[in-house]
Structure 1
Amino acid sequence: MRTGATPPFDKRAVRRAFSRAAAGYEAAAVLQDRVGAQLIERLDLVKLAPHWILDVGSGTGLGARRLNARYPRARVLALDLAGGMLREARRRKGWRQRQHYCQADAECLPLQSASMDLIYANMTVQWCNDLDQVLREFARVLCPGGLLMFSTLGPDTLRELRRAFAAVDQGAHVSPFLDMHDIGDALVRQGFEMPVMDVEHYQLTYPNLEALLRDLRAVGATNALQARARGLLTPRRLECLRAAYAGFLVEERLPATYEVVYGHAWGAGPRQERLADGSVAVPLGRLGRR
Structure 2
Amino acid sequence: MPADRPPTLDPVAAERWATSAWTASPWLHEEVARRMAERLEVIRLPVQQWADWEPERGGLGGHALVAQHYPNAKCYWVSGQYESAQDASKNIVKPWWKRWATTPRASREEHVTAPPDGSVQLVWANMLAHHVAKPDELLGAWHRALSVDGFVLFSCLGPDTLKELRALYARRGWPPPAHEFTDMHDWGDQLAAAGFAEPVMDMETLTLQFETPERMLTELRELGRNLGVGRFPGLRGRGWRDTLLSELDLGLRAPAGAGPMTLSFEVIYGHALKPAPRHSLTGETHIALDDLRTSLRQRKRKYPPV
Q: Normalising TM by the smaller chain, what interval? A: 0.7 to 0.9
- SS for the counterpart of 2:136 is helix
Counterpart for residue 176 of structure 1: 180
**The residue matched to 2:110 in structure 1 has which SS?**
strand
Unpaired segments ≥5 residues, structure 2? 278-297, 302-306
User: How far apart, in 2, do the equivalents of 1:222 and 1:38 lie?
Assistant: 24
Does structure 1 retain, via aligned residues, the 8 Å contact 2:164–2:263? yes
Q: Distance in 1 between matches of 2:143 and 2:185?
A: 19
Q: What is the deviation of 1:7?
A: 5.9
Query: Aligned residue for 1:268?
Result: 275
Counterpart of 1:198 (choices 182, 202, 211) is 202
Change (3 A) 1:88 1:226: farther
Is structure 2 residue 17 aligned with structure 1 residue 14?
yes
The Cα RMSD (Å) is: 2.9
1:226, distance to aligned residue in structure 2 (A)? 5.3
Cα distance between partner residues in 2 of 1:191 and 1:262: 18
Secondary structure of 2:31's counterpart equals helix
Of the three residues 187, 191, 199, the one matched with 2:191 is 187
* 1:69 and 2:68 matched: yes
Amino acid at match of 2:135: L
Residue 32 to residue 242, structure 1, CA distance change in 2 (3 Å) = same
Q: Which amino acid aligns with 1:8?
A: D
- Paired position in structure 2 for 1:37: 34
Stretches of structure 1 that go unaligned for 5 or more consecutive residues are: 105-109, 271-282
Which residue number corresponds to residue 240 of structure 2?
237
Distance 1:68 1:121 in 2: 14
Equivalent residue runs for 1:86-105 within 5 Å? 86-93=85-92, 94=94, 96-97=104-105, 98-102=108-112, 104=113
Asked if 1:148 corresponds to 2:152, the answer is: yes
| SS of structure 1 residue aligned to 2:55 | coil
Which of residues 157, 162, 169 is equivalent to 2:166?
162
Q: Give the whole-Å Cα distance in 2 for the aligned partners of 1:86 and 1:226.
A: 29
- Indicate conservation of the 8 Å contact 1:58/1:78, yes or no: yes
Contact persistence 1:193–1:265 (CA under 8 A): yes
Cα distance, 1:206–1:261 mapped onto 2, change above 3 Å: same
Q: Partner letter of residue 62 of structure 1?
A: G
* Letter aligned with residue 264 of structure 2: T
Work out the CA distance in 2 between the residues paired with 1:207 and 1:235: 25
Contact 1:171 1:229 in 2 (8 A): yes
Counterparts of 1:114-133 in structure 2 under 5 Å? 114-133=118-137
Change beyond 3 A, Cα 1:12–1:190: closer
The structure having more radius of gyration, on CA atoms, is 2
Counterparts in 2 of 1:91 and 1:2: CA distance versus 1, 3 Å: farther
8 Å contact from structure 2 (residues 9, 227) kept in 1:
no
Tell me the amino acid that sits aligned with residue 151 of structure 2: L
- For 1:230 and 1:91, the matched residues in 2 are separated by 38
1:208 corresponding residue in structure 2: 212
The separation in 2 between residues aligned to 1:7 and 1:30, in whole angstroms, is: 24
Residue aligning to 1:218: 222
Q: Which amino acid aligns with 2:10?
A: P
- How far 1:253 sits from its partner (Å)? 1.2
Contact kept, 8 Å, 2:212 with 2:261, in 1: the verdict is: yes
Q: Which stretch of the first structure deviates more once superposed, 118-127 or 65-74?
A: 65-74
User: CA shift at 1:225, angstroms?
Assistant: 4.2
What secondary structure is seen at the aligned counterpart in 2 of 1:86?
helix
Letter of the 2:64 partner, please give it.
R
* Count of aligned pairs: 261
TM-score normalised per structure 1? 0.79
Could you tell me how far apart the structure 2 residues matched to 1:266 and 1:144 are?
8
Per-residue CA distance 1:87-140 (angstroms, 9 max, x = gap) = 4422214474222223x4xxxxx3432122100111111111122221122112
- Give the TM-score, by structure 2 length: 0.75
Shift of 1:69: 1.1
Alignment partners' CA distance in 2, 1:180 and 1:145: 23
How far apart, CA to CA, are the structure 1 residues paired with 2:61 and 2:159? Answer: 26
The Cα offsets for residues 196-226 of structure 1, whole Å up to 9 and x where unpaired, read as: 111100011112222111112234x122445
Distance in 1 between residues matched to 2:234 and 2:174, nearest whole Å: 16
